[in-house]
Structure 1
Amino acid sequence: MLRRSFLKVGLAGLAAPGLILRAQATEQPRPGSPFIVTYFDLPGIKGSRDVTDAGDGTLWVCGQRNGTLGRFDPRTSQIKVISLGEGAAPHGVVRGPDGAAWVTEGGQNAIARIDDKSHAVRLFPLPAGRERANLNTPVFDKKGILWFSGQNGIIGRLDPNSGKMEVFDAPRGAGPYGMTRTPSGEIWFASLAGNYIARVDAETAAFTVVDPPTEGQGARRVWSDSKNRIWVSEWNSGQVSSYDTESGSWKGWKLPGDKPRTYSVYVDDADKVWLTDFAANAILRFDPLTEGFHSFPSDRAGANVRQMDGRSGEAWGGESGTNRLVRIQTVKPA
């Protein structure tokens, strides 16, 4: 069923008061390794969840457990903590074409825009009848329209210029989770409860469901590589799989170790695939060419990295269980 609605736009904190604090950085020794692993304790951020590049050397990070968004500068270790409003519980964050941070704000059942200059917060609530959508992942299409998922069975889109929001029922009900855009401009999402991935027609909002070959795999998050292949983290099966959107073929690889639980997936600019395994309390780097895994276990128990992102030479994750960010540098800094 299609639902259409024009938003009433809310404001949460015109000045968005924020604290400027200093993070503590700890480098994890890895003798002989080409990788440099650094942890950043984030004061003022509780439940450091999704993270993304802010475009100026800083990063945005969601504090899901205390309703905040952090603007972190790893060069100075300073972090500005921005309150998103009463009852906020931010999940996903993406940098928009306007430079602002756009957040799926599950606590207030709204999309939040945080200005990159003033840090003012503007809310776009979901329409009536779509309460408790359990908002998850946002992504912009090539026309600047924001698409987002909600685990309680919705896919939505928001025009940032007009404020028009449309919310659609997802196939098979509950489950929409991770979402990605391919270089060719296609929008894809994964359904954790539905055990599928799907393409969204950006014009008509029609869905094309694709079932992975492993039954009940628990497709959780998705990310596209430079060849328009969709990489899928399979929570239930403990696999990472890839779907070739041109040939329609699948490949899959089991993560190493006993009973892996694959949570997040991120593909860097070299088409290397980054994953997190909750069972191993580790981040893994997978090379599709050699089909080999490289493991980076956390130095603290219960790290629970639920999402990863990055920029050239750096992979970043939020340790939601330790209130930290972790950076893995693949290129030695100058």
Structure 2
Amino acid sequence: MPADNLPVTAESPCSPLITEYDPYWQGPNTGSTHEVAITKDFVFVSGQLMDQIAKFDHAGQLLTHFNMPAGSGPHGLLIDHEDQLWVSLEFAGSIVRLDENGGITDHIDTTIRASGGQFNPAPHGICQGPDGSIWFTGKRTSTIGRVMPEQYAVHFQLNTLAALPIFLSPGPDGSIWGTELLGSAILRINPNQGRVLEYKTPTPNSRPIGIIPDPLLPYMWFSEEAGRKIGRINMEGRIQEFTLPLLQPNHILGSLTFDLEMNLWVQVYIDTTLPGLPGPDYLLCIDKAIRTSTDPYLFGVALTTHKVPSSRGMLHRIKTDPAGNLWFTEMMTDKLAKVTLNAG
């Protein structure tokens, strides 16, 4: 690693240690570091415009790059129940499984074939259901897709046109849950019924981003980029929103994750498309008391902020590893970062 590109670290007493790592993408494109997926040994990051997947160990050491087909646009990452890596190739309209050396072993064509022609749904977010089936969002076609055991895709249409579904996660009820960025709704599809239900957020134009299950309770939690709120939805579709006291009016939200203590961590970053003061990107840690709170302003729930070393990063995804550390991506600064808890 070049001496002038050492990992950047932020540390203060009694606080998490945040360390940034450079994926060293190869090629002319930058500003496109997207998803993160974690196994017990490795951390994988997608570089969409770079047509690469970066592989790190849990110490943050870059091990190698997996080169994807030119112009394929790798985005979504999934570690399946057998610890195998799947990647959605958004621009190519396919989903692939990789071996340990980054070779493609399975290839699923997600093309939608209709009387009007053939359409690439732009598979974006991917997840695995409890039954082992793989699901993906059709970002371009407002569809949800399912990979069948015979390795072909079936598609389910959303009721909302131009909904821009982007993120999926299995829920405690066995359904697949997701976010509609432009539809400002939470979606749910029961694998046994094949019917998509949509639940509008109480806040209009909220632009929901990430969605994850509660560690124990029958809820899904989601972040609202423009709404600047966190939402909780039960299995019947009832939504409770929580307003977050962000530091600046031009701060918006990225994704979210629970740590092993069941505290909720949310990415907060400066929206560079809007006028406003410069400021820090940071992680907001919300005490686990939020999981049972009914106060929309989180009265009595402790919140702490943790500044990210870089700024204007467009924080994108965040996940928790088996040891309890957090990993997140910074899309525009092309960095992977690790949050080592209990570092102080």
- The TM-score with structure 1 as length reference comes to 0.85
Alpha-carbon spacing, 1:150–1:297, altered in 2? closer, same or farther (3 Å): farther
User: Partner residue of 1:215?
Assistant: 204
- 8 A contact 1:71–1:79 mirrored in 2: yes
Residue type of the partner of 2:20? Y
SS class of match (2:187) = strand
Query: Which deviates further from its counterpart, 168-177 or 286-295?
Result: 286-295
1:245 counterpart = 2:235:
yes
1:49 to 16, 26, 34: 34
Give the CA deviation at 1:84. 0.9
User: Partner residue of 1:263?
Assistant: 254
How far apart are the structure 2 equivalents of 1:321 and 1:40?
Answer: 14
Give CA-to-partner distance per residue, 1:216-238, whole Å, 9 cap, x none. Answer: 21222211112132111112211
Mapping of 1:176-195 within 5 angstroms?
176-195=165-184
Residue type of the partner of 1:30? E
SS class of match (1:278) = strand
- 8 A contact 2:146–2:154 mirrored in 1: yes
**Percent sequence identity over aligned pairs:** 17
User: Partner residue of 2:266?
Assistant: 275
User: Partner residue of 2:301?
Assistant: 291
How far apart are the structure 1 equivalents of 2:138 and 2:304?
Answer: 32
- 8 A contact 2:92–2:122 mirrored in 1: no
Mapping of 1:64-143 within 5 angstroms?
64-75=48-59, 77-115=61-99, 117-121=100-104, 122-129=106-113, 131-143=119-131
2:333 to 297, 312, 322: 322
- Structure 1: which 5+ residue stretches go unaligned? 1-20
- 8 A contact 1:158–1:164 mirrored in 2: yes
How far apart are the structure 2 equivalents of 1:209 and 1:42?
Answer: 37
User: Partner residue of 1:232?
Assistant: 222
1:150 to 138, 161, 168: 138
How far apart are the structure 2 equivalents of 1:304 and 1:76?
Answer: 20
Give the CA deviation at 1:25. 5.0
How far apart are the structure 1 equivalents of 2:131 and 2:2?
Answer: 37
Give the CA deviation at 1:145. 0.2
How far apart are the structure 1 equivalents of 2:281 and 2:336?
Answer: 14
1:26 counterpart = 2:7:
yes
- Structure 2: which 5+ residue stretches go unaligned? 271-279, 290-299
Aligned-pair Cα RMSD in Å: 2.4
Give CA-to-partner distance per residue, 1:307-333, whole Å, 9 cap, x none. Answer: 111224211111121221111112449
- 8 A contact 1:25–1:38 mirrored in 2: no
Alpha-carbon spacing, 1:237–1:145, altered in 2? closer, same or farther (3 Å): same
How far apart are the structure 2 equivalents of 1:22 and 1:128?
Answer: 46
